[in-house]
Structure 1
Amino acid sequence: MTPSRRGLTLGLLVCVTAVAFEGMAVVTAMPAAAADLGDQELYAWAFSAVMIPQLFAIAAAGRVADRTGPVRPLLVGLGLFAVGVVVAALAPTMLILLVGRFIQGLGGGAVNLCLMVVTARAFDPAERARIMTWYSACWMMPSFVGPGIAAWVTEHLSWHWVFWLILPFVGLGLAFMASGLRQLPPRTDADAPGDPVPLHAAAAVAIGLALLQAAGQRLEWLSLVWLVVGLALLVLNWRRLMPRGYSPAAPGLSAVVMVRLLTSGTFFGVQSFLPLMLTTRGTPLLRAGLVITLASVGWMLGSWLQARPWLRLSRDQIIVAGAVSVASGAALVAVAAWVPASDLLLTTVGFATCGLGMGLQSASTNLATMQLSSEAELGRNTGSLQVGETAGNALFVGIAGTVFAALNPIAATQVTFGTQMTLLAAVALLAIAASKRIGFVENHSLTV
């Protein structure tokens, strides 16, 4: 491997680490941030404020990547992500924190999309499965130490410092991969697909998701207006962001996108409220962070398994196994949510099982999308996959937030969190059905 290729690989891994640390550490620190800043009714927005702009950024970055290559949108994304981190770190109010999170979402969406496009163009199919394992390792390394570090920093310094810890990773990643990015062959408009994703459709879907969450957070008559308008924006524009021939019930790429949407929505919906559920029951923040960490161990294990040549399964069968694992784990967490006296072990095992499923399906849906896409539409279809993931995250975190806003003032905590987790487990069952519609996708790891 040449020095520039090594630098590119290392830089990609460091960038993944930066985004992963931001996600895992902030989940742990958010209960303390909400307690400090107030406006706890906006708690779910701290996550949706990242996910919703990500959707637009993914579509925009995919369009630019198909026309000029992934380097330019990657650099813009890294810059926006860093600015958002600084704004959040300095936030004196929950509203300013949400602004910072919004900017992080714009940058993070572009970065996530471009990392996948760079991977597809810089590595051959057999290498990609190994790269996905390394990416998962970089997601999981912050997960092992991130929640614990975030909890310690929050308790001994301030939650603000959790954000400051992210910035060095951004600079290091850019420095390492600069030489390798310069050697990627440029693309021209002649290489681009004839019908790129319309950016107004991406903006409309993002606004629709925001309106749906706004409707759920304020349960009043005006919320019905936001609900109707939000649903209309989604229905009218969703298909334009998807691969050619998309239908929610179709096989192939359509089914791959639906699995990613439903499993990711389940996992991150559970993850967003699990620390709050545990700390509400008196579990120390460090121990709640450990539950998140062990789920990350499961994710890493799943990602490692999907790349093993002795795992004699086709790529689509691995995706089915991942969906089943996510659904099974979410069901265990739901049982624990309904029974406050249940041992913490039940919650831990359940969420770790969810993580195992995410490791299997996340890497495998990325690889399936690369294999089922032409070179000209790689950016668009990768964007569609990530738009599905982001929309699923925003939608189901928003639904979980609606349940919390509606039940928390009037119901026992086990009813509030039990209802949340049961609904999310039901969503994962739909993912199993979608995974069985994908059809055969070759597993190139078997040829290594």
Structure 2
Amino acid sequence: MTSETEQVTTPGAPAPRILNSEYVWITIGACALVFLGAFESLAVTTVMPTVSADLGGERLYALAFAGPLATGVIGMVIAGNWADRRGPVAPLYTAVAMFVVGLLVAGLAPSMEILVAGRFAQGLGSGGLMVALYVVVARVYPQALHPAIFAGFAAAWVIPSLIGPTVAGAVTELWSWHWVFLGVVILVLVALLMVIPALRGLANDGDASTRWAFGRLGWSVLAAVAVLALNLVGDIPGVGPVLALLAVVVALIAVRPLVPRGTLRARRGLPSVILVRGVAAAAFFGAQVYLPYLLTDRYELSPTLAGLSLTGGALAWSLAATVQGRMGVRLSSVTAVQVGTILVLVGILLIVATAGLGWNALMVAVAWVVAGMGMGLMSPRTSALTLAMSTPADQGFNSGAMTVADSFGSAMALAITGTLFTALAAADPFLGVFVLAAVVAFAAAVLAPRISSRSGGSAAAAVGEESAVG
């Protein structure tokens, strides 16, 4: 399969599409892997309140989500560096294998501690998987098709969003939550079989002169350890708040070498693209994890019904992503990201009102549709912007930075909300975590305009033009 730099469009020939014969297998295989991640994410989020109650692991509830996100940062750095050196094939296969191991450990876990350990392994695999997949996109598709394939990734959430929460809740009620993890293993094997033929020709498609970034790997481990510590030290009597603050500082210092220079200072252009993506993800997923918990605990809904609250958000995400891909230059990337972050904020504010004022549980589903639309608008555009602002030499690093921002932002948010949830146990813990998520979403909306360059956002405009082709 030809690389991006070798692909030439014949004058007068039809514009390439992601389902043309030369791209169809890699498109199906890549979207199948995204489908896998989507199903696992929605299913586990749905059943985790039941898992936590069954294993007596309420204290480790937030860690079960923040843990894999934190270890995922390590997997992302390894996969990004490995892909730059040797191409994306080997890191992709290794990540899938690690993901399967994590699912098996979690699915067979007799205690919450072992389940969390399995989630750690799962995070290593899923983090490496997404980075390798982004590098595959950069190697295989012309830049004009990047918005379309990223819209395809978002659309791959449609089926799991329809069946994931409902199936997970039904399996838990009829059999056992263990099968929610073990059943995903089957999806992994199916997705892998679809991907293998599509990756022929990409083996060793890298730059062997690229050095192993042991320094970045060390920083990624430190960042992960700091986030994990934040989950565990916050409720230590007396010194807990001080240790938690120290863990936040260490985590922010450690993540700096893993993202483009100027990211934490919101420098215009690529650094702000990465930052806004991470902050928006922190707000969205920091709130999403507690939605089924709110509905099962306060509204006494079944796991199946609670899971449906996530379905609307995932469907809205997919629909909005598809629409933004079709609109092309009629919707600039800057506008898509700005509107998207505002919608995420509005959705979370509706959740805050529901939790604080005791509104009907149906409002949770409505609010999450609004927030999902926001993520669907902004997420594909930040992905496309990241690749548009990258060179072949740093595609792996920047793709890794993008997914690091996703996972690190979400892990930090979940670590802090977990501590806050425990601290407010005697008051209203749900209201507290949703207010925090709203504050983070507000920060994303304020930072969104900085994704454009000082010269007027030429990169953003370029991505808009490319999406019209895709």
Q: Give the equivalent residue in structure 2 for 1:445.
A: 467
**Count of aligned residue pairs for this structure pair:** 442
Q: Which amino acid aligns with 2:45?
A: V
- Of all paired residues, the percent bearing the same amino acid is 35
Preserved CA contact (<8 Å) 2:296 2:303: yes
Supply the AA of the counterpart residue of 2:146.
Answer: R
Q: In 2, distance between residues paired with 1:33 and 1:192?
A: 44
CA 1:141/1:2 → structure 2, altered by over 3 Å: closer, same or farther? closer
Q: How does 1:18-417 map to 2 (within 5 A)?
A: 18-184=36-202, 186-189=204-207, 192=210, 198-216=216-234, 218-224=235-241, 226-281=243-298, 282-309=300-327, 312-340=330-358, 342-408=359-425, 410-411=426-427, 415-417=428-430
- Contact 2:319/2:373, CA 8 A, preserved across alignment: yes
> CA 1:33–1:435 in 2, change beyond 3 Å: closer, same or farther?
same
Normalising by structure 2, we get a TM-score of 0.90
Deviations 1:357-409 (A, max 9, x none): 1111111111110001111001101111111111111111112111211111x
| 2:438 alignment counterpart | 425
In structure 2, how many angstroms separate the alpha carbons of the residues matched to 1:197 and 1:264? 26
Displacement after TM superposition at 1:82 (Å): 0.4
Amino acid at match of 1:437: R
Distance 2:93 2:267 in 1: 35
Q: Distance in 1 between matches of 2:220 and 2:377?
A: 28
Q: Deviations over 1:272-298 (max 9, x none)?
A: 011111111222322211111011111
Runs of 5+ unmatched residues, structure 2: 1-18
How far apart are residue 245 of structure 1 and its match? 4.5
Say if 2:233 and 2:244, in contact at 8 Å, map to a contact too: yes
User: What TM-score comes out, normalization by structure 1 length?
Assistant: 0.94
Q: CA deviation at 1:190?
A: 5.0
Preserved CA contact (<8 Å) 2:338 2:448: yes
In the TM superposition, what is the alpha-carbon distance from 1:225 to its structure 2 partner? 5.6
Distance in 1 between residues matched to 2:296 and 2:368, nearest whole Å: 16
Opposite residue 450 of structure 2, the aligned amino acid is R
Paired residue type of 2:467: S
Question: Aligned-pair distance for 1:308?
Answer: 1.2
Q: Deviation per CA, 1:142-176, whole angstroms, max 9, x where unpaired?
A: 11110000000000000001111101221122212
CA shift digits 1:101-151 (9 cap, x unpaired): 111001010001111110121111222222112211222321111000000
CA distance 1:179–1:37, change in 2 (3 Å): same
Query: Which stretch of the first structure deviates more once superposed, 56-65 or 281-290?
Result: 281-290
Query: How much does 1:215 deviate?
Result: 2.2
* Contact 2:62/2:415 (<8 A) preserved: yes
Distance in 2 (alpha carbons) for counterparts of 1:185 and 1:83: 24
Cα 1:16–1:197 shift into 2, 3 Å: farther
2:156 aligned counterpart, secondary structure: helix
Contact map agreement 2:424 2:432 (CA 8 A) in 1: no
1:434 matched residue in structure 2:
447
Q: Name whichever of 74-83 and 179-188 sits farther off.
A: 179-188
Q: Distance in 1 between matches of 2:263 and 2:313?
A: 32
SS at 1:43's partner residue? helix
The SS at the match of 1:104 is helix
Amino acid corresponding to residue 257 of structure 2 in structure 1: R
User: RMSD of aligned C-alpha atoms?
Assistant: 1.9
Amino acid corresponding to residue 424 of structure 1 in structure 2: A
Contiguous gaps of at least 5 residues in structure 1: none
